[in-house]
Amino acid sequence: MTDTRAPEIGEDAVITPRFRTRLRRAVFWIVMAAFGLLVVAVVSSMAGAGSTGAPPLDPTSADPEGAKAVAEVLEAEGVTVTAVASADDALGALESAGDATLFVVDTPYLDPSRLAGLAGAAGSIVLVDPSFPVLQELAPDVRIAGSAGGDGVDAECSDPTSERAERATVDNTYRIDGDVEGCFPVDGDRFGVVSVPGATPLTIVGSPAVFANGSVTNYGNAALALGLLGASDELVWYVPGLADVEADAPPTIGELTPGWVVPSLLLVLLATVAAGVWRGRRFGPLVVEPLPVTVRAGETMEGRARLYQRTSARLRALDSLRIGAIERIASLLALSRHADAGDVSAAAAALTGRSPNEVRSILIDAVPRSDAELVGLSDALTILEAQIRTLTDPTGRRAR
């Protein structure tokens, strides 16, 4: 008979994976990590390409979102431009300059409560794209009215500066009440530029594109920007920064985090989840490990039999018996290991003289419908195997 038992593991057998095997298994994760680092590097370089990291409308920045072009033209026309990054510096510059124009760029660091003190020291104020709290502090009669899409809009008002510009870019619009005058109307009741009269005249411009390097030459943006900021010989250009943050109110992580960090982390996370789903559905190689105790074959057989009985898996139980019987009969008949069940059934029928259909029913086709039929088929298998064993010698040759 052919020995079908698994070979025992020798004492000198190596079952611990070698370094080369571990490296081969880790190739995928190494490639994924390299890909993630490459994506982060590319996104970082794209986000930082051509950018100095300066805030929008910074008078010293040559970026498309900066405003260096307007600041240099104003200085060429004799206007003294003082760039400041905190409310304290802005107040000091206004007090020393006298009747100066205060240009305020609304950023997340701007404290609306400190604008009232700056307004009292300035001759006039130009405010760009203010938030709701800033409007409530300086111009309660002005309300945010939504976006206009960044198209060019005609002035259509009596303000001299807006009339000279004739047409300008309008991004955000405002609705007005009282004595407030609006220019560059959209849909009749929304305005891109608003003038608020008072002791300190206030002009609200809803579009940063009027002053930005990349769009100041569009329409009449340059004329409007130079007209508003060049009204006096002194201009205090205030872009709020970290110096305006109070000690008990630090900026949030979102405000301090570069814009490329979140999309890069999301991409790496999605790649990791996809890799986990892909690799997690594949089984690794079998690991040979000796059992801590010796389990008798009879106990295993009885345990499996109880499981089959509990779930009424009669056909599965019979198939287990058939597989063992067919392997032993094939060995007794000296058939090839690759012979299928049909070939074994035909050879057994020819040897025993039984009907091929009867032998095939016992070995393959019959389906037990009850426990009694299962026991009957099990007995038939045993009788058939015993009959073949008596007709053959132990070496697998047929008895004469």
DSSP 338-385: T--HHHHHHHHHHHH---HHHHHIIIII----SHHHHHHHHHHHHHHH
Q: Cβ distance 367 to 377 under 8 Å?
A: no
With cut-offs at 50, 70 and 90, classify the pLDDT of residue 13.
very low
pLDDT tens-place string over residues 17-46: 556 666 777 777 788 778 878 877 777 666
Answer with the residue of higher pLDDT: 289 or 163. Answer: 163
pTM over 0.85: no
Residue type, 125: I
Element at 152 (helix H, strand E) = strand 142-154
Q: Cβ distance 57 to 203 under 8 Å?
A: no
pLDDT tens-place string over residues 235-264: 999 998 877 775 445 666 766 777 778 888
If you average pLDDT over residues 140-157, what whole number do you get? 90
How confident is the model at residue 47, as a pLDDT? 57
Q: Residue 241 has which token pair?
A: 């920064």
Q: What is the 3-state secondary structure (H, E, C) of 6-73?
A: CCCCCCCCCCCCCHHHHHHHCHHHHHHHHHHHHHHHHHHHHHHCCCCCCCCCCCCCCCCCCCHHHHHH
* 3-state DSSP percent of the chain in helix, strand and coil, to 5: 45, 15, 40
Cα–Cα–Cα angle for 84, 234, 65, rounded to 5 degrees: 50
DSSP structure class, residue 94: H
